[in-house]
Amino acid sequence: MELTVVGCSGSASGPESPASCYLIQAPYHGRTFSLVLDLGPGAFGALYRYLDPSEIDAIALSHLHPDHCLDVLAYYVAAKYSRPGAPWPGRPLYGPRGTARRLGLAYDVPTPDGLPSEPGPQLADHFAGHDWRPEQQIGPFDVRTARVAHPVETYAVRIQERAGTGGSMVFSGDTGPCPELDELAEGVDLLLVESAFMENADNPPGLHLTGRQAAQSGTAAGVSAIILTHIPPWHVPEDVLREATPHFDGPVMLATAGAHWSIG
């Protein structure tokens, strides 16, 4: 299983990276299966560095805050209008309840008479929508999810390759400290964990993790390695790394756009 960081900036795109987006690939039926996990602002264009986006097999969204999902709209524009090649085949879209409908509302601007601004099938019609379930198979991956501590319906996602080395990883989504994340991540090879807060007594609860809390989650889960991600542009990533490193007895790394790991 291969992980490529397409975008890792938190809460907004940043000067060095698009917002949240991760490309996860593995062999499947004689070809490479490509799963995009989150598709935040700026990420769709960056995907062209790594593959032809028309070849994406599935898109999965941890939650529906804009920094994790809005470039699904850009994907849809390319799927409908790019030449040559469009229209692209409809693809599975995994996410919280009503994901395709919610993104359709973000895309369409109704005319004064209340009709859609574009004739024919709409964004929600293009995708095969799937609500997150506790367990499901997506191509070569066994996928488990857990609801985590964030103001909107948000899921941490555990992905394990069914064949090959059987590598495993968890993406935390956005979350404050919660046992659900620790339980889902138990024993995985890699924890890709948000670290949007610096240590501060005024941090609101149930929203994001600090570097220390991210590392402590990895320790509680017994993971092999940690990648800190979703650091917003107003923080210095190396400062977050310094806060995290003393609290995990293993590799602690920073996500950067374009970084690549083989898992398993």
Give the pLDDT confidence of 188-201 residue by residue, as tens digits.
999 999 999 999 99
19 - beta bridge partners? Answer: 9
Band of pLDDT at residue 116, cut at 50, 70 and 90: confident
Please state the pTM of the whole predicted model: 0.96
Q: What is the mean pLDDT of the chain?
A: 96
- Compute the distance between CA of residue 175 and CA of residue 193 in angstroms, rounded to an integer: 9
Three-state SS for 34? Answer: strand
Band of pLDDT at residue 141, cut at 50, 70 and 90: very high
pLDDT tens-digit readout, 42-73:
999 999 999 999 999 999 999 999 999 999 99
- Compute the distance between CA of residue 182 and CA of residue 14 in angstroms, rounded to an integer: 28
Contact 63, 102 (CB under 8 A): no
Mean pLDDT of 116-137: 92
pLDDT of residue 246: 98
Residue where the block lists tokens 């210095």: 236
Contact 145, 94 (CB under 8 A): no
pLDDT of residue 191: 98
**CA distances to 209, 210, 258 from 57, in Å:** 31, 33, 20
Please tell me what DSSP assigns to residue 140.
Answer: T
pLDDT tens-digit readout, 16-42:
999 999 999 999 999 999 999 999 999
pLDDT of residue 18: 98
pLDDT tens-digit readout, 145-190:
999 999 999 999 999 999 888 999 999 999 999 999 999 999 999 9
Band of pLDDT at residue 111, cut at 50, 70 and 90: confident
